[in-house]
Every structure is written in structure tokens, then in C-alpha cells.
Amino acid sequence: MTQFKFSERVPADGTDAVGAILQAAADPKIISFAGGLPAPELFPVKEMKAAVDKVFEEHGQEAMQYGAAKGVTALREVIQQHVKEKENVDSELDNVLVTTGSEQVLDLVGKAFVDPGDTVLVEQPTYLCALDVFRSYGANFASVEMDEDGMKMDALEEALKANPNTKLIYTVPNFQNPTGRTMTEERRKQLAELAEKYDVYILEDNPYGEIRFVGEHVPAVKAFDKSGHVLYMSTFSKTLAPGFRLGWLVADEDVVNKLTVLKQSADLHTDNLAQFAVAQFFADNDVDAHVKEISNLYGKRKDLMLEGIKKYFPEGVKYTDPEGGMFLWVEVPGVDDTVELFKECLEHNVAFVPGDPFFASEVQPGAFRLNYSNMKEDQIEVGLKRLGAALTAAVNK
Amino acid sequence: MTQFKFSERVPADGTDAVGAILQAAADPKIISFAGGLPAPELFPVKEMKAAVDKVFEEHGQEAMQYGAAKGVTALREVIQQHVKEKENVDSELDNVLVTTGSEQVLDLVGKAFVDPGDTVLVEQPTYLCALDVFRSYGANFASVEMDEDGMKMDALEEALKANPNTKLIYTVPNFQNPTGRTMTEERRKQLAELAEKYDVYILEDNPYGEIRFVGEHVPAVKAFDKSGHVLYMSTFSKTLAPGFRLGWLVADEDVVNKLTVLKQSADLHTDNLAQFAVAQFFADNDVDAHVKEISNLYGKRKDLMLEGIKKYFPEGVKYTDPEGGMFLWVEVPGVDDTVELFKECLEHNVAFVPGDPFFASEVQPGAFRLNYSNMKEDQIEVGLKRLGAALTAAVNK
């Protein structure tokens, strides 16, 4: 057999820790809080079918033909209107790029901005796939401490001073993955100011912002951007259909144009059928009502999570109480190795994602992420009972 | 305004020559042979709508949910069967990766194999987007001379000896873009042997192979691959719907696994709706009959092209006579600068793609590419008359 000579970019075998975790957790007898999927029972299957039917009737040939790298105009108009309505962000059509899921925004931004040795400042902890992408372009990371109100701005400014090579600040300001935390309005203003002051870019990743089940909406960092330093990204994956792979970037036209060139080399353009379908879906449906339904369900599940945690987890365990999104974050004092804990939990037929891969540098011990968006109510109860038993055993070891 | 500091990877402004050409040719009064689109009037809109309807009825939630990075199993099975049936290539499911168009295969193979300074051997001329992608990963190119029977094997072996740093040989063996030429079976055998002998990989790109309107099918290079050195790629873009962005790779499991990791960082996975739809389309339709219809139409248009060329082009002009695919290649003795010629042709309201960007290194002067797949019959006649007038003027200058 041929021994293939891969490039330096290819990660070594066995480094996909999260893949291994999800695979271990896939055993049907395990109740897994490890995933990150939306609740499929709320997918608007019937309405999307109607939208797609209309697309075939009205734009059949166009949806099946090659399209523009920036995306289908009708969808870009939907996005433009959407960011105005939801986030009070003004944009022209030329500021909008449709991508193959928001993962592609991460990839294109990494490719367009990160030279090897550049520093990317990230929240501590942060979304692990973003770390993987930026790492693949040779980024160094510096982590910025968080509290319940998101990234700490004094810590951020220190990091900016300590890392003059900083190119990008990556943040998930709403219901962050993995912690579920939300950054305050005051900090968002400061964040935008710091980016301008230090001439670094902010990649504001907002996949969950609309899934708010309690509290007040906080404006996007982009809404405070006076200088074009904020690149705003989001997706239809959490509100409509992750399977369609539709994300987007709203940014300065110069950034959009450069990323469009890179996108052409990546996949020419994003699937036209899905783009036309979602544009049609917006025209024909009350999307806000649909998102409200999702938020209500996830809110109910989050409440059940907190009830279960209080009932079954050993004393001293800390946890976040998100106002939206899909995840909460647990810290277990006295337990250092959550990868080891993960293995013990598998024996109790319950799973989570250990905290380690969410940290760019130093790992905060004893933390893990729980998903609730895709957990049925009875699973939550039984799963947390199992998890509580495993945690009690671990704490008392 | 912010002056953005992009990475070294971002191409400089004004380097997108082809983009500029296509834009100039988009004026509706211009008859443009510059494009590369399939004929949309043959898209199976009604049948695809029926397939998608069935997908929503039978797999609605699944098609809308996140999916596997390697692709939807039903589609991978279709591909596996397809490469067996059409190319006599044996594969297991683990050898098949679905991608977001075949452009993504180019990108992932470039990323996985090409370290800066590695040499990629390409046909002279070759598909320009492949050059862009490999260049973005730091490839050096060496070009291998072609004749009417494709890449010359003695020239290839010389290039392999002269470039010990060669990682990859890129070939479009059937109805090549831009020349329309097809490599003989004998050369394909030799090509597979040379790859094994010199331990380099072949990326065999076969988007057009099924669109044959005359002559006999030639087996894929992959069919002669004994050592796993051949990575075989194709797409549904020329036979079903380019807008759906569905390509694929068939290769050694080790290659597929590594590319899957990279694909996860690029876009997580390819749109599920399009994947389910095409799998369903194959289950419910006679795809061979549909492809035959495409081939017949393109063959008719190619014949009209040759008639027009003979009728209107000045004497001494050379052109290929493809047995399939979408393009033919014209060489005009006495004309060196086809970019200049392009500008003159715009004044005659007719356009093509100048040969220059198809050459990795030294440019063969006086050549250009003509598309016929998306040219209506009356446009061919009028367009070639205009082009002939422009060529006659240029030759007599």
C-alpha cells in the first residue's frame, strides 16, 4: 500500500479528540448531552417543501444553473433586511456574502487574514471549530478571560498590548458556545472601540442570537462599529435548517470582495437551490413566529436542565444559566480531568463534551459543556440523574 | 476608511483576468463563447422537483439536519455504483467523499498534498481554476506538452525526472478544458505506471467524460491504478445541475479520511437537500437517457461550430474537433496576443476566453477557447461570422 505524503497542513492522526468523543457518545444506550444539534422536530418541513416547490416552478433553471459567488441576490436581500431588523446594522448588498454554512466564514476569514505567526485573541473558553480553523492557517492564540458578562475588556486590552501581532479578535457574544454566556452592551461598545484603537479586526459570530428565551436583546458589536473593523457572521442553521449549509458575512465591501475571490477557489458558490428556497421561505412565512417557537422549546428544556442539575448534581458544582442558545457550562470543583470524567460517565451511560478542546491555551480544569436543544424532556431527567451519580462518585473519589 | 491588512494568501487586486473577461463579455449585445455553462434548457427541472418532493416526504427532517462530513450514504452509494458502471472502478463506501462541487476537491487536494515549493505537473494548457487553487497553496508548476492524444508521456517522464519535488500530476483526460482533447488508453496506462514508478499522485479530473457524442469510451486512468496513486474526481454539474454544487472524490481510504478532516474545517458537510435529491433522482429516472440527450445536443452544436469555423475563419487557423464535452480550442498563426485580439473582438460584438490564463508557465501565443454547450444554434452562426471577420482583420494587420 502507498504511504501517502500529506502536506504539513494535515492534522496528525488521533488529534480529532472531539470526533472521538462524539463517536463514543453515539452508542444508543448512552444519553448524550455532547451533541450540538437543533431540535429536528421543529424543522418547518412542510413549509420548506412548499417554498422549494415554488422555486422549481418559478426559478427552476436558475436554481439548477451555476450562480454568482456572492450568492443569490434574493437571499442577500433577505440577509440585508434581516441584519437591519434584528441588529440595526445598515448594509448595502455589496456588504453581504452568502457562504456554505458559517463554518465557511471562519475558514475564509482565517485564510484572508491570518498569516502564520499572527495572533488571534479568543474567549476563554471558545468555540472549538474556530480554533481548529485558525490553527490551520498558522495562528497563535491568546485567550481573554471571561466572566458572566462575557469577555473582560480590561483583560482584552492587556492582551492587545501584550500581543502587538494581533490580527483578529474572535467572539461569540450571544449565548456563547460553550458557556452560554452573553456579553453586555457596555462591553460590546468597548470592544468595538478597542478594535478601532488597536486596528485589529473583530469576527463577531452570532449563530444563536435569535434563540433568546428570556431577557432583553443586546445589540450586535457590529451595531457599534464606526470604522469597518467588525466582520459580522451568522447562519440559518439554528433557525431554519443546518443541513442546507447557509451562512453569511456582513462586512466592509473590500473584505467581501476579497473573500469572494477566495470562495470561488473553495467551492465556486453555495448551492443555489437552498439559497432560493430560504429566500422563498422568508417571503411566504412568519419566520419570527417560527424562531419564537424554537426559543420557547429550548427555554423549557434549559429550565428542566437547571432543575435536574439542582436535584442531582453534588453540592459545589457551578453552572451557567443562559438566556438563550443551546448550551450550558458546568464546572466541578475537585475534578481536574474531565476527559477521564467523560470515560467514567460513559460507564454510567451518559455523555458530555469535556472542556479541554474549548481552550486555546491553558485549560481550565473540571469544566464541560452540556447541550439541551436536542434533548427530549424525559432524556434530560434520566440523563442528569446518571450524570449526577457519576459526578458524585468522581467528587468523592 | 480602514485599510485592511490581508494575509499573504490573498491575490492582489486586478489579478482576476478571467473575471474581467467574463464581465466584459456579459454585455447582451455580445455573442459570447467565453462562458462554460451547461445548456439550462436540458435541466430536468420537473423530475428534480419530483425527487425533492419525495425527499421532503420521506427524509424531511434528515435532509434539514446536520449530516456527515463524508456525505449522505445514499448518494455515496450512487457514486460508488456509478464509477463502477461507467469507469469500471471498484470502490468501497469508505473510498467515496461527497464535496461541495468538484472545485472543492481541487481545494482539498491542494490543501492536503501541496506544501509550498512542491511541484504540480499540469497539461499545457490546463484548467485555469486548478492553477489558481494549487497556486494558492504555494505550488510551483511544470507544464507537460500535449498533442491531439493528450499529455505526451515522454514529456511527462522528462518532467518527472527534472522535477524531483513533484507531488501531483493534474489531468483532465476526457474532452479537456480548454482544448477538448482526449487522452488515449495507452497513455492512460503509462500515466498510471509512471505515477507509481515515481511515487507521485495523479488527480484525475473527469467532469465531462459522460458527455461523449462520438467515438468510443476510454477507461479512466483510475481503472489502471494498482497502487492507489490515482485520486479520481468528478461531478454532477455537467450531467444534472451545477447549481447544486455536488462533486466527489474516489480515492484510497487514507486520502478520503484526511480530506474529510479538512472538509469539516471548510464547510462541515455539503448541503444535504441537494445530496438526497440527486440520490432520489437516480433512483427514479433514466439518467443515461438524460445524459444521452445532452450529448446529442452538444454534438449538434459542436458540428455547427466546425461548419462555421470552416466557413468564416481565415485560412491557416487550427482548431480541435472534440468527441465530447463543452469546449474547443483555436490557434491563429500570426496572432500573438489573444488578449489584444479579445479586445478587438469585443468591438465586433463577439467574445471568447484568451488562451493565456490556461498556461501555467510559458504561454502558447495565439490560442483561445470557445464554448458551445450553452450556445443557441443561431448564435453559433452569427457569432462565428463576427469572429471570423475579427480574425481576418487581425491576421491581415
- A29 is written with which cell numbers? 444506550
pLDDT of A202 higher than 80: yes
Summarised one tens digit per residue, pLDDT across range A58-91 is 999 999 999 999 999 999 999 999 999 999 999 9
Mean pLDDT of B206-223: 97
| Model pLDDT, residue B301 | 98
Q: Residue A382: what pLDDT?
A: 97
Instruction: Indicate whether B12 pLDDT > 90.
Output: no
Q: How many CB atoms lie within 10 A of CB B249?
A: 25
What are the residues whose beta carbons fall under 8 Å from the beta carbon of A323, sequence distance 6 or more? A175, A182, A212, A213, A214, A215
Cα nearest neighbour of A107 on chain B: B266
| Mutate which: B2, B135, B259, vs A, most A CBs within 10 A | B2
Contact yes or no for B45 and A38 at CB 8 A:
no
- Is the pLDDT confidence value at A16 over 80? no
Instruction: Work out the minimum CA distance from A111 to partner chain B, whole angstroms.
Output: 7
Question: Do residues B38 and B108 share a domain?
Answer: no
| Yes or no, beta carbons of A115 and B267 under 8 Å apart | no
- Which of these ranges, A17-26, A258-267, A358-367, B269-278, has the smallest mean pLDDT? A17-26
Mean pLDDT of A94-123: 97
Average pLDDT over residues A3-21: 84
Q: Do A187 and A86 share a structural domain?
A: yes
Higher pLDDT, A47 or B337: A47
CA torsion sign, B82 to B87 to B88 to B90? negative
Cell of A299: 427555554
CB count within 10 Å of CB A372 equals 27
Closest alpha carbon within chain B to A276 = B243
In a domain? residue A11 = no
Domain that holds residue B389: 17-43+289-395
- DSSP, collapsed to helix, strand or coil, labels residue B102 as helix
Q: Which residues of chain B have a CB within 8 Å of the CB of A134?
A: none
Residue B69, phi-psi category: left (phi > 0), alpha (psi -120 to 50), beta (remainder): alpha
Q: What is the pLDDT of residues B296-324, one digit of tens each?
A: 999 999 999 999 999 999 999 999 999 99
The DSSP annotation for B357-392 comes to GG-SSSPPTTEEEEE-TT--HHHHHHHHHHHHHHHH
Residue B4 lies in a domain: no
Reply yes or no on whether the pLDDT at A191 is more than 80.
yes
pLDDT at residue A32 greater than cutoff 80 = yes
Residues B303 and B324 in one domain: yes
**Can you tell me the distance from the alpha carbon of A38 to that of A375, in angstroms, rounded to the nearest whole number?**
9
Number of domains in chain B: 2
Q: Which residue is listed with cell 462533486?
A: B247
Q: Residue B304: inside a domain, yes or no? A: yes
- Asked if A201 and A73 sit in the same domain, the reply is yes
**Chain A: nearest CA to B147, how far in angstroms?**
29
B157 and B172 part of one domain:
yes
Give A1's pLDDT tier (boundaries 50, 70, 90): low
Closest CA–CA distance from residue B246 to any residue of chain A (Å): 9
Last residue of a domain, one of B250, B284, B318: B284
Whether residue B16 has pLDDT greater than 90: no
User: How much is the average pLDDT of B210-229?
Assistant: 97
- Which of B189, B204, B196 has its CA nearest to residue B229? B196
Q: What is the mean pLDDT of chain A?
A: 96
Give whole-number Cα distances, A30 to A170, A337, A349, A370, B117, in Å: 34, 21, 4, 14, 48
Same structural domain, B243 and B375: no
pLDDT band at B396 (very low <50, low <70, confident <90, very high): confident
Q: Say whether both B253 and B166 belong to one domain.
A: yes
Residue A221 lies in a domain: yes
pLDDT higher for A2 or A110?
Answer: A110
* A109-121 average pLDDT score: 97
Give the per-residue pLDDT at B370. Answer: 97
- Same domain as A312, residue A257: no
**What is the mean predicted confidence (pLDDT) over A350-378?**
94
pLDDT of residue B23: 82
In this structure, what CATH number is given to the domain that contains residue B257? 3.40.640.10
Q: What is the mean pLDDT of residues A41-51?
A: 98
What number is the average pLDDT over the span A138-158?
97
pLDDT of residue A64: 98
pLDDT at B334 over 90: no
CB B369 within 8 A of CB B355: yes
Is B9 a domain residue?
no
Which residue in A53, A65, A245 is closest to B268 by CB distance?
A245
Question: At residue A274, does pLDDT exceed 90?
Answer: yes
Confidence of residue B1 (pLDDT cuts 50, 70, 90): low
Pair type for strands B166-171 and B201-205: parallel
Considering only CB atoms, B265 lies closest to which of A37, A132, A241, namely A132
> Of A14-18, B17-21, B47-51, where does the model show the most confidence?
B47-51
Residue A259, pLDDT score? 97
Contact A56 B66 (CB under 8 A): no
Chain A residues within 8 A of B281 when measuring between CB atoms: none
Kindly state whether residues B128 and B276 are assigned to the same domain.
yes
> Using omega within 30 degrees of 0 as the cis cutoff, is the peptide bond preceding A44 cis?
no
Nearest CA in chain A to B273: A244
**In terms of domains, do A338 and A247 share one?**
no
Inter-chain CB proximity A273 and B269 less than 8 Å: no
Contact B45 A56 (CB under 8 A): yes
Is the pLDDT assigned to residue A219 strictly greater than 80? yes
CATH code of the domain in which B322 resides: 3.90.1150.10
Contact list, B46 vs chain A (CB under 8 Å): 56
Measured between beta carbons, which residues in chain B are less than 8 angstroms from residue A137? 7
Which of A185-194, B92-101, B329-338 has the weakest average pLDDT?
Answer: B329-338
What is the spatial distance between Cα A310 and Cα B346, in angstroms, rounded to a whole number? 74
State the amino acid at position A210 in one-letter form.
E
**Per DSSP, what are the bridge partners of residue A99?**
A247
Write the CA distances from A46 to A60, A238, A258, B233, B278, integer angstroms: 19, 18, 38, 35, 20
ipTM: 0.97
H or E element in which residue B118 lies: none
- B172 lies in some domain: yes
Whether residue A236 sits in one domain with residue A346: no
pLDDT of A20: 78
Query: Taking CA atoms, what residue in B is nearest to A128?
Result: B265
Q: Which of B266, B284, B302 is the last residue of a domain?
A: B284
- Range with lowest mean pLDDT among A332-336, B80-84, B97-101, B167-171: A332-336
Express each pLDDT in A299-358 by its tens digit.
999 999 999 999 999 999 999 999 999 999 999 998 988 889 999 999 999 999 999 999
Residue B196 belongs to a domain: yes
Angstrom distance (rounded) from CA B235 to CA B129: 15
Question: A45-64 and A272-284 are packed helices; what angle lies between their axes, rounded to 10 degrees?
Answer: 130
Closest in B7, B113, B268 to A114, CB measured: B7
Mean pLDDT of A25-48: 94
Range in A225-234, B6-15, B50-59, B356-365 the model is least confident about: B6-15
Residue A2 lies in a domain: no
Contact A258 B4 (CB under 8 A): yes
Residues A238 and A295 in one domain: no
Last residue of a domain, one of A284, A316, A332: A284
**Which among A3, A104, A167, A271 is the top mutation candidate for probing chain B, defined by the most B β-carbons within 10 Å of its own β-carbon?**
A271
Judged against a pLDDT cut of 80, whether residue A15 lies above it is answered with no
- For residues B356 and B17, the answer to whether their CB atoms sit within 8 Å is yes
